[in-house]
Each structure stands twice: as C-alpha cells, then as structure tokens.
Amino acid sequence: MKHSSLNRQPSVFKLPSEPACNLIQTMNDLSELEGHIKQLIDIEPRFAPIYQQLGVPSLRRNRGGFRELMRAMVGQQLSVAAASSIWSKLENAALITPDAIMKADDDTLRSHGLSRQKIRYIRSLVEHDIDFEALAHLPDEAVISELTAVTGIGKWTAQMYLLFSLGRADILAVDDLAIKVGAMEVLGLDERPTPKQLERLTQSWSPHRSAASLLLWAHYGWLKDQEAVPV
C-alpha cells in the first residue's frame, strides 16, 4: 500500500559550529520515506516502475544500541535459522548485555553457541564501551569510524546501523550483494558493478540513497521470487 502524505519534511539535525555539509538527515516514518522516493525518481526515473509495482517498502527500523550490534555480530556468516537459534540461547541465558558478557567466561559463551571468533568480536564491542546516544549526533562517516574500530564490525555492518538504527537518509551499502544485483538490473548494466563503480554511478542519487537501498532490496526480493517460480 502506498502512503500519500508528504507534508512532513525529513528531519534534519546540524552539529553546533559545523558547516552545512555536515547536516544529519534522517527518515523517521513512511511519509518521509515516500518523499525521498519521489525525489529519487525525479533524479533517476528508472526507479519509477519499482515504486509503482512494490509501493513504499518497510523502514525496518530497530532500537539500536549494544543489543542490536551484538545480534548483528552473532549472525554474521550464519544462516538466519542458525543465528536465530544462537541468539535465543543467549537471550534465554541473559547473556546479551555488556555486564553479563564481562562476567561470563569463554566456556560459558561457547556453550551457548558462540565460536571463539564471535566471542572475541563481542568482547571487543564491550571493551569499546560505545556511547550509543552520542552516535545519533555524529555525521555518517564519524559513526562508521566509531563502529568499525570494534573488531568484527566492518563498513557494511556500520552502514546497516546507520540506516536501520539511526534512520540516516543517505546510505547505500555498495558492498551488499542484493544492492549490487538490484542496481545492475535497474541501471541496465551487463555485470554486477564493483563497490567503487556503484559508488560513482549513484552519486547523483544523494541525498536519497537510503530510499534507493530500500527499493533495491525490495526489488531484489521480487527478482528472487520470480526466479523461484517454475516456468
């Protein structure tokens, strides 16, 4: 279902004494997302058929913070089912807070499904003691720098946090497979673009690249469903 209300302007924050280029722009509801989508289509009309077919995608927002990052780290390189099973064990054992992780020994964490590598990553997250409230007031690149200082958090995970936890409006995860496949189809490319190529090809989509990401993920899902339908 499409949402037609476009009265609310996207939320914008400006850091004190910072230049205009460091404006922090967010999307907080479907109305704001729809506004970004329509402006994106003005720039790149090839998004219009996706929007007409699939409508306004979900914002998929989450509350962020330590719990959200820990869950992302637990799920890295695992199937959805395996990640969900391990997280449920940790949650049921109340092992999902910094204090609980600090008190638990490695054997306890391993007994609940965490590998040695995942334990190292999560302990690094605890040790960095990130001020999650402060992240909301930092520019995108500063957030990425803060998060990727943690062992086990790469740029993709940091971008997912920017988009889904902080609601930033101009995030395109150029390393994401679905984004690359969707962009290849939308832009009519002969092969999947490299991250650098995709960054260059989509510069003009700014400051609406989060809307583009959400549409490309939705389009990728539709493409996969089409591939699964017997001919």
Helix ranges restricted to H, 161-208: 177-187, 195-201
Torsion of CA 152, 157, 162, 166, to 10 degrees: -80
| Token pair for 113 | 């499904």
For 212-221, b/e burial (b = at least 16 CB within 10 A) is bbbbbbbbbe
Start-to-end C-alpha separation, the chain: 28
pLDDT computed for residue 32 by the predictor: 96
The partner residues of 10 in beta bridges, in order of sequence, read: none
Q: Cβ contacts of residue 36 below 8 Å, gap of 6+?
A: 10, 27, 169, 208, 210, 211
41: part of which helix (H) or strand (E)? helix 30-43
pLDDT computed for residue 223 by the predictor: 83
pLDDT computed for residue 155 by the predictor: 94
Measured at the CA of 148, the angle between CA 20 and CA 17, to 5 degrees, comes to 20
Q: pTM for this structure? A: 0.84
pLDDT computed for residue 16 by the predictor: 39
126: part of which helix (H) or strand (E)? helix 116-128
26: part of which helix (H) or strand (E)? strand 24-26
Q: Cβ contacts of residue 153 below 8 Å, gap of 6+?
A: 69, 73, 121, 125, 147
pLDDT computed for residue 225 by the predictor: 77
| Token pair for 103 | 């008190």
pLDDT computed for residue 224 by the predictor: 81
Please list the rounded mean pLDDT of every run of 10 residues in the chain (231 residues): 39 41 83 97 97 94 94 91 95 97 97 96 97 96 97 94 96 94 94 95 96 95 65 32
